[in-house]
Structure 1
Amino acid sequence: MGLTSEANRERQYAPAKVPLKVIIVGKAEWSFTRAGIGGLAAALSLGKRGHNVHLIEFAPEIAEVGAGIQCAPNMTRILDRLGAGVKVRSTGVALEAIHILRWQGGTLLGSVPISQEHGEQFVVHRADLQMSLLEKALALPNVKLQTNTRVDDVQFSPAAVKLNDGSWVHGDVVLAADGIKSMIRGKLLGDDKDVAIPTGDAVYRVVLTREMLSNYPELKPFIEEKKAIRWIGPGRHIIAYPVRNHEIYNMALAHPDRGRVDESWTTVTSKDNLLGDYDGWDPNLVKMLDLVPEGDVLEWKLCMHMPLLRWVRGSCALMGDACHPMLPYVAQGAAQAVEDAASLGVVLSSISSKDEIPTALLAFEKAQKARAEHIQQSCLTTRAALHLPDGPEQEARDAKFRALSAGGDSDDKWGDPEFQKFIWSWDAEAKAEEAWKEMKRESKAQSRL
């Protein structure tokens, strides 16, 4: 049954002990995704606790764009508490299983039932999630959104940001939710630069409508059933699932990078490239790809980002893709950004004076950094397992997949029951409270020395 209705209920948080002016810097560049999930979630998490939030977005407007996104239980429980889970549940699809298919012929290699122990696994249209967070945040009188504005500089202590018109906005805290190409990250790190290492993969993103699939009886189950599909083959894999109450079928297709694109969501590529990469694959898959309209294929490069030396400097903290960009292989990118938002809401609402802001931000880093980095690294393990060439290693992997229904382990971390438990059972708010209490104890102990 998943979470109880009581657990799904919106939480009324105690007001912050010291209300702060929090500046949240949104995405650093225009993109098809527009506003980031992490920045919106942070605005809501902090706004519900009584902080004065100023969210600054480069996009000229917050438009309903994007594709599918996976809301794992560690993310959904936070959305429920923030009051943004209602739309996820009303328009998303609660997955019941993950099916793993061989690239040739679409043979079923294994099926993983989605455990309900920690809650339901939803898949939702990104725009529905964005608009739910935005509407809930802007319904609060203490949350302000400023669009069509670029942030050109940052000051760490006291906190302030410089806008593209030359003016400065001053606050108590700056949160950098400005994405993979974060300007603030470079300023915060100084000489310790972010290192992006190409994985050798790129990804196509396409969506199909129910109408497109309705004339093909063999394709209709893909959009009608509550399951995600992974096709796996040499050097490639695909993840696909229905969203928007089974009206849209979302597909992400990993393939060898040929240097056509950079690390962005904004590149439109040729349908011929898409079809060429999956020539000879499962006929049902190829039939679906052939239905994609020309001009509707997006492509971007996948890079692995090495762990940063730090996330915090003075009264400024990085969050989301600005500090831990995730490869898509374990479906935790947005979830980790939402965890950051929840954690920041807790620690910044626990301080007794503004002098404790740097300590609170370090408690956030303590709570989330090691976890996020572990999940980052797990993505590479999953990539290697999914992309094996046909041969003895592939056959051994497929034998593991066949054992999944009986509870065996999996090299595909997203479908591995033990790894699911590690990811999905995490309560970011509870972990933030623990980290804050530990930081306070350490601070008191040092003051006695």
Structure 2
Amino acid sequence: MPIEKDIKTFKKDKQRLVGITNNHYVYSKEEAYNLIVSKLPDYIAKNNIQLLQGNGNKNYFRQIKEQYRGIVSDLVYSEQIKVREYMDNVDGFVDFVVEEIVGYSVLAPAFADPGVTDIFCNAWNEIFVERNGKSERYPGHFRSPKHFKAFIDRVLRVDGKEINKGTDKIVSAVFYEDRVEAIIDPVAAKGPSITFRKHSENHVKMKQLLDQRVMSKEMADLIEMLIFGECNLVVGGITGSGKTTTLRALINEYAKKRMLVVEDTPELFPEVENNLQLVSFKADNKEEAVTLEDLIYSALRLKPKYIVVGEVRGPEMMAAVEAMETGHSTLMTGHAGTPVDMVNRIVTKYLMAMPSLGVDVVERIIGSAIDYTIIQDDIPGIGRKVTSITEVVYDYNIRRVKFTPIYRYNFKRNDFEQLNKLSAEKADKMLRRGVPLERLKPYVKDWEQL
């Protein structure tokens, strides 16, 4: 058997050598790909090509791929490379090579599909996508575990990260604006895995949210007034509920004053002219790292009207609450399914940072700082809905946080309904922020007290 294999290999090599001379040899896709990869370094050096490098936005990613597309195309034609699977489609082969070298590899069709929002590679041959809110099996897969691991390594390298079985078994990264989470064995029982949350360049606008009935026009008008009145808002929801999408649409439509946006990963992209975006920086050396907490405290000194925090998970909770207390309108997202859960989560995180204060004190601080919660859900069979807008106050008489639902989604009627009006206390705050009394009157229960 080995002798027969050697003879076949010899004949194949002989045919390739003759074919290269006579330009008759037809390569398999894998052979042609390996040939291109082997010739790339010399070609780039010989032609003194300065490659685009580093991470960036989608437009920069397209420039990188376009540069490689030109290089690969030149090699294919100059070497007269013929590929069996692409005899009548040279451009298709060039695209395949570019996706393998710098792009999404076998996941390219999923990234090109506007309906796909998340891609879950549980293993090299087990891939699922979320398309239009529904999970489905992806028809493609990587060629082998080795191919899959090489792809993961390449994706992480773009963000200056690496994954290994030592200290870096779980790695978060950004690949040209797409959020990435990679896990390696033995933590991942099936072997290496990688998950992508796609970044959309076509950001959802308020009109689209209203057309899709994510909220009613009356709810949007109320939120517009709350933002204009510089209230402190927390947009909550479980993972995948669309809370970041909604917050982005809200601030871009309604927040027209100086804004500072603080995030771990850029996702909000404010459109207001006077804005400053700050992104945390992770480093092995703690002295070099810049956390969300650091950025929020820095933002307080930069005189913003709005501080927008992409997502609060840990110690930055306390900094965000302090921003609220010091008169800076703060808008943020967090993971929670109800207003009570949202406040409890913030209280818990605050206590972890300041355990000496006690629950009663922290509840008073949080209840006095937050003005309203907006909870959004992605409901199977129904879609994304803002299921509640709730007023939050600290009641000094009962010494507890009090929740008053203003709007909610009625599942029986499949529609939104108003349950209560705003308190005079919140309205008074908005009056002092410049909201006209006549605009407030229809929303306030006891407006005569203003």
| TM-score interval, smaller chain | under 0.3
Say which one has the larger Rg: 2
> When the two structures are superposed, what TM-score results if normalisation uses the length of structure 2?
0.20
